[in-house]
Amino acid sequence: MLYSILKMANGDNILFILALVIGYFLSLMISLSSHELAHGYVAFKLGDDTAKVRGRLSLNPFAHFDMYGLICFLFVGFGWAKPVPINPMKFRNYKKGIRLVSLAGIFVNFIFAIIFSGLFYFFGNKLLLSNNLFLIFLGFFFDSMFIINISLAIFNLLPIYPLDGFNFVNSFFKPDNKYSQFMYKYGNILLICFLFLSVFNLFDWFVSLFEKILFSFWGLF
Catalytic residue among 31, 35, 36, 169: 36
Residue 10 clears pLDDT 70, i.e. is over it: no
At 9, the pLDDT band (50, 70, 90 cuts) reads low
190-208 pLDDT tens trace: 988 877 766 556 677 888 8
Can you give the pLDDT at residue 203?
72
- The dihedral built from the CA positions of residue 48, 54, 57 and 63, taken in this order, carries a sign that is negative
211 is catalytic: no
How confident is the prediction for the chain on average, in pLDDT? Answer: 87
Question: Within its chain, how far is the Cα of 164 from the centroid?
Answer: 11
Output the CA–CA distances (angstroms, integers) from residue 98 to 40, 161, 171, in the order listed: 12, 14, 7
List the single range of 38-42, 74-78, 85-89, 92-96 with lowest mean pLDDT.
Answer: 74-78
pLDDT at position 122:
96
Confidence check: pLDDT of 120 > 90: yes
- What pLDDT sits at residue 77? 62
